[in-house]
């Protein structure tokens, strides 16, 4: 299976996927830490967190997959949402909560 296939499987088989540096418990970059905090603030309980620092193939492959040059990257229901700046904007205007609600990932937002 190619890296692109692995990524496609991850985002297809998990409602919420966060490609990040480090883990939700120990983020290894401020941008990834912010992304984790925003998901928590939205009430997301289940997320597949993929540590790109543990796999350089994924680290580069995800940029190609999404056509987006940086980490973190959030996917909801197989759809690329954005990085931490976009997540923060969408959280502030309520769009992210709505998207998670529509996806059936959180009850009340």
Q: Does residue 71 touch ligand GSH according to CB under 6 A? A: yes
| 70 binds, options ligand FES, ligand GSH, none, Cβ within 5 to 8 A by partner type | ligand GSH
Q: Does residue 27 touch ligand GSH according to CB under 6 A? A: no
Closest CB to ligand GSH among 61 and 72? 72
Label each residue of 27-95 as H, E or C.
ECCHHHHHHHHHHHHCCCCCCEEEEHHHCHHHHHHHHHHHCCCCCCEEEECCEEEECHHHHHHHHHCCH
Closest CB to ligand FES among 21 and 75? 21
């Amino acid at each position: 299976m190619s890296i692109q296939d692995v990524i496609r499987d991850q985002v297809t088989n998990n409602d919420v996927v966060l490609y990040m540096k480090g883990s939700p418990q120990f983020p290894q970059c401020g941008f990834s830490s912010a992304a984790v905090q925003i998901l928590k603030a939205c009430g997301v309980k289940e997320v597949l967190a993929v540590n790109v620092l543990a796999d350089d193939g994924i680290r580069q492959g995800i940029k190609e997959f999404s056509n987006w040059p940086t980490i973190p990257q959030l996917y909801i229901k197989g759809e690329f949402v954005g990085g931490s700046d976009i997540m923060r904007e969408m959280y502030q205007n309520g769009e992210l909560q709505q998207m998670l609600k529509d996806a059936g990932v959180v009850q009340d937002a």
